[in-house]
Structure 1
Amino acid sequence: MGKAKAKAKQAKGKMKESAGKAMGDRGMQAEGRGEQMAGKAQEAAHDAGERMRKSGR
């Protein structure tokens, strides 16, 4: 997954968390935080892959 998609997933999660907070829906807030974490993990994996590729491995 590309870095742009990972950032989009983080943004979607942030919006979902904010909407859940506004509506008082703790489940939606938690789901949004989960999406943010998944996006951050995907971004980190992408960055690690790029570093590996650049190092010649």
Structure 2
Amino acid sequence: MYSSIPDMDGSTLGARLNGLAKGFANRSSIIEEVEGWELPELERERIIEMLKVIRW
């Protein structure tokens, strides 16, 4: 999704995924937050679909 590791590290999505991995968030709350982000609809849908298939 990102062109480089630093781009991913500095992203809001990267921060949310780190929180999910560490147990500070859950997938449902991240998806709910992403639904409110001001992104093109297709980008938002792509992120949400990715979140739904992640297995930890």
TM class, shorter-length: 0.3 to 0.5
Which structure is larger by alpha-carbon Rg, 1 or 2?
A: 1
**TM-score (normalizing by structure 2):** 0.38
TM-score (norm 1): 0.38
Task: Identify, as 1 or 2, the structure richer in helix.
Answer: 1
